[in-house]
Structure 1
Amino acid sequence: MIIRKYIEFFKSLRKKFFNPLLEQFLLILNKLEAIQESLGRIEFRQTRDDNSLGLLSHEFRVFSQWGEDGIIQYLVNTVEINHKTFVEFGVEDYTECNTKFLLINNNWTGLVIDSDSDCIERIKKNKIYWSYNLKAIEAFVTQDNINSILQTNGFKGDIGLLSIDIDGNDYWIWKAITVINPIIVIIEYNYRFDSSIAVTIPYHENFDRQKAHHSMIYFGASLKALCLLGKEKGYDFIGCCSSGVNAFFIRQDKRPNYLKILTPEEGYVMGKFCEFRDEQGSLKKMTPHQEKEFLQNLDLPLIQVN
């Protein structure tokens, strides 16, 4: 992730002037990124044959924010998937994301979506965009346009994986999707809502986490709400990553017996990171429990999911 940002920075310098040392440094950075990818492949080989272990034991990180790369590799190599395609939205510049290693290591076909035009431009200028079958689309995803975006770009019916991380209307967007039928769904949950309640923020087409509340922790849905929605859409909840960010679902007709169905209480993981901002917008250190209590005491609307 950091390596790629340095690569892009030094590439921008190269446009202004040529320097042999700069060229050598760029070469080293590119090799470091290749080594990073290779380490991910090695870690995957060490865990792929053991189906008795839970999701957390398969975690490793190459391009994902946390351990999602390893879990994804475990799932796509143990679950029957005929259409090796993915959709991911909320990818920013595709430096840190859930599907980049899947694209490079497994040569899948994918569609990535982000609302930031600069981020999409950076993706299209990256070598990865031209080396693999990847589409990058600038769009602000809503429940009214998501299906047309997918269909217009050639994604419909069965696909291998869907990853949703938009820090807001995640529940409502997944609920609205009907034109694709992914086998694996990865979706962000807000651990501060606990595992015992099924709630989500109300749908607001232009929801912006930064504007909704200064704390930055009012967004998304609880794990239980997503589990209920998953069941309604024909998916089994099989666990979360160890960071307490993403939940994993498998389509019921494709779930192997060794992937145990979990309740929200069984699979819930509380996040250990701090994202809280004070009224001046500065990061303020609070424990996960303090963030959780703060959010529960906020007088902000939530919708109970049945």
Structure 2
Amino acid sequence: MIRDKIKRLLSNKNGFSNLGEEKFIKNYLSKIEHKEVAVDIAAHDGVFMSNTFNFYKAGYSGLAVECDNKKFASLANSYKNFDKVMLSKAYVYPENVVSLLEGYEIQYDFGFLSFDIDGYDYFVLHELLKKYRPTLICAEINEKIPYPIKFTVKYDRNYLWDVNHFFGQSISQLYTLCKKYNYDLVELYYNNAFLIPKEKNTFFPSLGPEEAYLKGYVNKPDRQQKFPYNKDVDVLLQMQPQEALNFINKFFHKYEGKYEASIT
């Protein structure tokens, strides 16, 4: 199973974030004036694959959100000495994400958002950005879906990830939020996109979704080693857009009606 493969791949890694995202986060935040407030939506146990643990440990305040009972119990235990970090055991939906952050008095322009809910990410982030403007966003994409395919799982309150390829949003779909809310896409690092508000980004070049996808995922020399479980869909990277869209619709046939997919 994909879950077992992921665990084996991570068993000997260093640091807390999945593939070393911490170094990028630290670099961006060191160059941009920001509030030392971090929000982690889908915080897991607060340590495993965490993009925020080291920042909370360094004194950042903020909010860590996790819905799973066992993971939240581990999160609460790991963070029991982090007096400035609030914890919420909650499912996050488009209709409650703003009220959730408001309830914990998160500042409008908080410093860092780590966002990865393995589902209808697009719709939750869309609503969050209507109200909040984090200085740096690290948002997971579905790296399997190539540019220029716009793909997103539709919002369904009963959705649960099947621990397979059907989740999240593509880089092209995420880029629609960049354009709508005036964020620069400054990096794609395998399956995590980094976004900075245009008005705050004076250091880093803005990338288009195609450039970011090629540089950050497709042309990574160790991509196949990092993502061996994508072997069955790697053929998408050699297809023309319409052919790729047809492949995706056939591949996800059992999820018909539960996602949106089109060519940018």
TM-score for the superposition, normalised by structure 2: 0.79
Change (3 A) 1:61 1:238: farther
| Segments of 4+ moved more than 3 angstroms | 290-296
Amino acid at match of 2:115: I
Q: Deviations over 1:63-102 (max 9, x none)?
A: 1011210000001101121x21011111211122111112
The CA deviation at 1:156 is 3.4
Amino acid at match of 1:240: L
Partner of 2:17: 64
Partner of 1:224: 172
Alignment partners' CA distance in 1, 2:45 and 2:236: 28
1:206 aligns with 2:158: yes
1:233 aligns with 2:181: yes
The equivalent position to 2:51 in structure 1, one of 90, 98, 121, is 98
Change (3 A) 1:253 1:267: same
User: Helix, strand or coil: the match of 1:224?
Assistant: helix
1:245 aligns with 2:191: yes
The equivalent position to 2:106 in structure 1, one of 155, 161, 175, is 155
Partner of 2:5: none
Q: Which has the higher contact order (CA 8 A, sep 6+)?
A: 2
Over aligned residue pairs, what C-alpha RMSD do you find? 2.2
Q: Deviations over 1:115-156 (max 9, x none)?
A: 112222222222x43144111110011001111111111113
Partner of 2:31: 78
Amino acid at match of 1:189: I
Partner of 1:165: 116
The CA deviation at 1:179 is 3.2
Alignment partners' CA distance in 2, 1:77 and 1:254: 13
Q: Deviations over 1:182-206 (max 9, x none)?
A: 0111111111110112221221122
Q: Deviations over 1:215-262 (max 9, x none)?
A: 710111110110111220121101111xx2110100111001x30010
Change (3 A) 1:229 1:255: same
Partner of 2:8: none
| Structure index of larger Rg | 1
Q: Deviations over 1:162-182 (max 9, x none)?
A: 111010011110001133220
Partner of 2:7: none
> What's the % identity of the aligned pairs?
24
Partner of 1:303: 260
Amino acid at match of 2:84: N
Structure 2 unpaired stretches of 5+: 1-12, 238-243
Change (3 A) 1:109 1:189: same
Structure 1 unpaired stretches of 5+: 1-59, 277-285
Instruction: Answer whether contact 1:186 1:249 (CA < 8 A) is retained.
Output: yes
User: Helix, strand or coil: the match of 1:209?
Assistant: coil
Instruction: Answer whether contact 1:120 1:138 (CA < 8 A) is retained.
Output: yes
Partner of 1:190: 142
Alignment of 1:84-123 (within 5 A): 84-96=36-48, 97-105=50-58, 107-123=59-75
Alignment partners' CA distance in 1, 2:45 and 2:166: 24
Change (3 A) 1:287 1:67: farther
Alignment of 1:258-297 (within 5 A): 258-268=203-213, 269-270=217-218, 272=224, 273-275=227-229, 286-287=231-232, 289-290=234-235, 295=248, 297=250
Alignment partners' CA distance in 2, 1:131 and 1:221: 32
Alignment partners' CA distance in 1, 2:136 and 2:158: 27
Instruction: Answer whether contact 1:151 1:179 (CA < 8 A) is retained.
Output: no
Instruction: Answer whether contact 2:139 2:192 (CA < 8 A) is retained.
Output: yes
Change (3 A) 1:296 1:124: same
Instruction: Answer whether contact 1:62 1:101 (CA < 8 A) is retained.
Output: no
The CA deviation at 1:274 is 3.6
Amino acid at match of 2:161: R
